[in-house]
Each structure stands twice: as C-alpha cells, then as structure tokens.
Amino acid sequence: MDFKKAKLNPAAVFKTPQEIVSSQELSREQKLEILQQWEQDAMSMEVAEEEGMPGPQPNLVQPIRDALHALNYWPDTEHSSPSKA
C-alpha cells in the first residue's frame, strides 16, 4: 500500500474508514493520519454541500469519527469543523 497516496486521498485507497482500522499494513499513527485527513476532507464536503455544491461521496464524518474512536483517538470536534467565512 502506498501510504503517501492513502494520506493524500484516503477515499481513493479505502472503501470505508473501518478498512483503515482493520489494515495490517499500517501503524496506529499512520491510520490516525489517514483518518484525520479523510475527516478534514469529509468536513470540507459538508460545507460545500451546505453551499449548494453536492459531492460524490456520502457523508462519512461519523463513520470516520467512529474509526478514530476505535483507535482510541478522541478529536476535539467542537473546534475542528470548518465553517463558512
């Protein structure tokens, strides 16, 4: 698996966030990096959808957060969500 590609575009490498958690090829730190990137991408898509620009992916924010929690990582979701300026 190409870690750099996975980190750059997680959705192109993995079908679901849980697939990252289950990966035997990645360290916990790598899994967290990929999931955090995917979470940022998903939150950006939510903002775009709110502005009338729907994206191709279903809303994955909660499944990504569930995957992060499975790795015992609890992000500060109150301060991490992108917003419209």
Domain boundaries, the chain: 3-11+29-79
Per-residue CA distances from 13 to 17, 19, 41, 51, 84 (Å):
10, 10, 14, 27, 29
pLDDT in tens, 12-67: 999 999 999 999 999 999 999 999 999 999 888 877 666 676 665 667 889 999 99
Please tell me the predicted confidence (pLDDT) of residue 23: 96
Please tell me the predicted confidence (pLDDT) of residue 47: 73
Higher pLDDT, 49 or 82: 49
Say what the pTM is.
Answer: 0.77
